[in-house]
């Protein structure tokens, strides 16, 4: 009996580790065009958000849309010290949305080349979420904002990182 329970427990443990959670990010096919969209689709991200993620604590701030653009900034702290900053733009371009991010270290040295940034093309927008190629903004029913980012360096298997944000207290 004990042996059967141990075997059943081992099978359950193996099964639960094999069953992967549904990916929260999407990929835009190389020949696929981004769908039409306006900044009203992402208006729910405007504000100041804080919460855990990527082994630290994140803070993300987005301005409301104006003149076809939103601007944002992000900081990640680990062990009470700054680790990463981002400057972001979300723009209406060619009747769709484009997200651009510039990554900076704690000394404001760019992780991309000086005249480059990381660009995310729109895959789809719903009432609950906006999916860019490798990054998702999801509106939570409790008033929170979840951001999922697919990361991976050259040669590494990509993985998703989640930020579970709440509206920041003043």
Confidence of residue 42 (pLDDT cuts 50, 70, 90): very high
Confidence of residue 110 (pLDDT cuts 50, 70, 90): very high
Q: Would you say 134 and 25 are in contact if contact means Cβ atoms under 8 Å apart?
A: yes
CB count in 10 Å sphere of residue 94: 10
Closest CA relative to residue 131, chosen from 84, 89, 99:
99
Confidence of residue 114 (pLDDT cuts 50, 70, 90): confident
Instruction: Say if residue 158's pLDDT is above 90.
Output: no
pLDDT in tens, 78-105: 999 999 999 999 999 999 999 999 999 9
Name the fold adopted by 23-167.
Lipocalin (2.40.128)
Instruction: Say if residue 8's pLDDT is above 70.
Output: no
Supply the pLDDT for residue 1: 39
Find the range with the poorest average confidence among 31-35, 44-48, 81-85, 158-162.
Answer: 158-162
Q: Give the integer Cα–Cα distance in Å for 53 and 103.
A: 16
Closest CA relative to residue 162, chosen from 135, 139, 141:
135
pLDDT in tens, 56-76: 999 999 999 999 999 999 999
Instruction: Say if residue 18's pLDDT is above 70.
Output: no
Give the phi and the psi of residue 130 in degrees, each rounded to 5.
Answer: -125, 120
Q: Would you say 140 and 146 are in contact if contact means Cβ atoms under 8 Å apart?
A: yes
Closest CA relative to residue 84, chosen from 118, 49, 57:
57
pTM as predicted: 0.83
**Could you give the percent of the chain with pLDDT greater than 70?**
86
Q: Give the integer Cα–Cα distance in Å for 68 and 27.
A: 24
Cβ partners under 8 Å of residue 113, min gap 6? none
Mean pLDDT of all residues in the chain? 87
Confidence of residue 14 (pLDDT cuts 50, 70, 90): very low
Q: Would you say 122 and 37 are in contact if contact means Cβ atoms under 8 Å apart?
A: yes
């Amino acid at each position: 009996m004990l042996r059967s329970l141990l075997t059943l427990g081992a099978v359950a443990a193996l099964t639960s580790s094999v069953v992967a959670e549904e990916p929260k990010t999407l990929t835009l096919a190389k020949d696929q065009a981004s769908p039409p969209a306006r900044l009203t689709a992402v208006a729910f991200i405007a504000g100041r958000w804080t919460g855990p993620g990527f082994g630290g604590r994140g803070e993300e701030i987005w301005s409301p849309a104006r003149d076809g653009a939103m601007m944002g900034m992000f900081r990640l702290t680990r062990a009470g010290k700054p680790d990463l900053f981002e400057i972001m733009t979300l723009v209406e371009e060619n009747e769709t949305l484009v997200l651009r991010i510039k990554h900076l270290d704690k000394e404001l040295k760019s992780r991309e080349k000086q005249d480059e940034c990381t660009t995310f093309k729109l895959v789809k927008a719903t009432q609950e979420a906006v999916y860019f190629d490798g990054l998702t903004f999801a509106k939570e029913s409790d008033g929170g904002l979840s951001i999922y980012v697919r990361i991976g360096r050259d040669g590494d298997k990509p993985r998703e990182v989640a930020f579970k944000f709440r509206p920041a207290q003043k």
